[in-house]
């Protein structure tokens, strides 16, 4: 028994959570995925470091993705809406889709869709401003067996990445890697407003990249940028789907930003498992 370590951890996160996390630490150690010791893991956790960075992985749907500071840890809310999106569309190898992921981070969104959808039905591209994120995204793609291009006779889903800022007004015109039109645009952009950023738990603000979290004074800067991109002629194909994760009070504002682009004929708001409005799904005109 590790009752001393359990007590040390429980003082910070409560007994129930501590006993679960201690078990996950032991599992990570016994699977050989980490060469730390249990007591250093507990020490780091007690100092407030996120469990996912300590263990080095986070499950995301059926995938087990690598996590590395300061790249944003994939959230269960994101996992939930991406699975729902996967179940709401039916791409086939005969009718493959093009997907653009803005602020791709660990690569979790396109990689999960590549994994869930039929082989050869999806080509994805992710951009990010952070080289750390792109390195992790590419490592995750390799881990999940998703290639950058189809290199065999077998049909495959693909994932490519490039370093770019979608806040730039020149985006996407000056981006050679962006090849419109896109059938699907996904994004979980930074959405935390200034005042809330100051109130974040330390395990978030001390460890995760501020550039992955801070969405400008109102938290909406990136949605304005996405609205501009969506308005851009030829970026969306007919009937394209734009799926955006939003902060807990932003769904309706983002929905109206999307409607005002003039490219959208129908919108939906999806709730997350905790009862928050979490995802705005916008359908482009035919």
Ligand X SMILES: C[S@@+](CC[C@H](N)C(=O)[O-])C[C@H]1O[C@@H](n2cnc3c(N)ncnc32)[C@H](O)[C@@H]1O
Write out the residues near other proteins by the rule CB under 8 A: 1, 15, 17, 19-21, 23-24, 50-52, 58-62, 72-73, 75-80, 83, 188, 190-192, 196, 200-201, 203-204, 207-208, 212-213, 245, 247-248, 272-274, 276, 278
- The backbone torsions φ and ψ at residue 259, rounded to the nearest 5 degrees and listed phi first, read -60, -40
Which span (32-40, 83-91, 123-131, 194-202) binds ligand X, by CB under 6 A? Answer: 123-131
Shortest distance in whole angstroms from residue 149 CB to other proteins: 29
Shortest distance in whole angstroms from residue 162 CB to ligand X: 10
Instruction: Kindly state whether residue 105 participates in binding ligand X, applying the rule CB under 6 A.
Output: yes
**Separation of alpha carbons 80 and 77, rounded Å:** 5
Instruction: Kindly state whether residue 133 participates in binding ligand X, applying the rule CB under 6 A.
Output: yes
Residue 78 or residue 124: which is nearer to other proteins going by CB? 78
Asked if residues 136 and 72 have their Cβ atoms less than 8 Å apart, the reply is: no
Asked if residues 198 and 218 have their Cβ atoms less than 8 Å apart, the reply is: no
Written as six digits, the tokens of 173 are 């015109």
For 26, the enclosing helix (H) or strand (E) is: helix 15-30
**Is the Cα dihedral 249, 78, 69, 107 positive or negative?**
negative
Which span (98-106, 175-183, 246-254, 271-279) binds ligand X, by CB under 6 A? Answer: 98-106
Residue 180 or residue 207: which is nearer to other proteins going by CB? 207
Please spell the DSSP secondary structure of 121-190, one letter per residue: SEEEEEEES-HHHHHHHHHHHHHHT--SS--SSS---EEEEEE--TTSTTTTTT-TT----EEEEEE---
Per partner kind, with CB cut-offs from 5 to 8 A, the member of other proteins, ligand X, none near residue 166 is: ligand X
Residue 126 or residue 247: which is nearer to other proteins going by CB? 247
Strands 236-245 and 277-284: antiparallel
Asked if residues 9 and 42 have their Cβ atoms less than 8 Å apart, the reply is: yes
Shortest distance in whole angstroms from residue 231 CB to other proteins: 25
Written as six digits, the tokens of 40 are 């250093």
Per partner kind, with CB cut-offs from 5 to 8 A, the member of other proteins, ligand X, none near residue 103 is: ligand X
Per partner kind, with CB cut-offs from 5 to 8 A, the member of other proteins, ligand X, none near residue 165 is: ligand X
In sequence order, the β-bridge partners of residue 11 are: none
Shortest distance in whole angstroms from residue 84 CB to ligand X: 14
Which span (34-42, 125-133, 176-184, 198-206) binds ligand X, by CB under 6 A? Answer: 125-133
Shortest distance in whole angstroms from residue 13 CB to other proteins: 8
């Amino acid at each position: 028994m590790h009752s001393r370590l359990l007590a040390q951890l429980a003082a910070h996160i409560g007994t129930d959570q501590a006993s679960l996390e201690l078990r996950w630490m032991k599992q990570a150690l016994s699977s050989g995925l980490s060469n730390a010791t249990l007591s250093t893991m507990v020490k780091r956790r007690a100092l407030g470091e996120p469990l996912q960075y300590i263990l080095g992985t986070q499950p995301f749907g059926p995938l087990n993705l690598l996590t590395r500071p300061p790249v944003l840890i994939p959230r269960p809310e994101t996992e939930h809406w991406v699975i729902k999106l996967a179940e709401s569309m039916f791409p086939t190898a005969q009718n493959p889709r093009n997907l653009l992921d803005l602020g791709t981070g660990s690569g979790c969104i396109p990689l999960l869709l590549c994994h869930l959808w039929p082989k050869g039905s999806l080509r994805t591209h992710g951009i990010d401003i952070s080289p750390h994120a792109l390195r992790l995204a590419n490592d995750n793609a390799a881990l999940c067996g998703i290639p950058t291009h189809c290199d065999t006779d077998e049909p495959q889903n693909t994932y490519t990445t490039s370093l770019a800022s979608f806040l730039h007004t020149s985006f996407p015109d000056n981006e050679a890697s962006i090849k419109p039109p896109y059938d699907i645009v996904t994004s979980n952009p930074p959405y935390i407003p200034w005042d809330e950023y100051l109130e974040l738990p330390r395990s978030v603000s001390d460890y995760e990249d501020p550039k992955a979290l801070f969405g400008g004074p109102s938290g909406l800067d990136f949605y304005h940028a996405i609205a501009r991109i969506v308005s851009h002629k030829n970026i969306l194909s007919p009937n394209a789907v734009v799926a955006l994760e939003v902060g807990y009070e932003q769904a309706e504002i983002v929905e109206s930003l999307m409607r005002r682009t003039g490219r959208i004929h129908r919108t939906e708001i999806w709730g997350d498992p905790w009862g928050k409005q979490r995802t705005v799904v916008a359908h482009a005109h035919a």
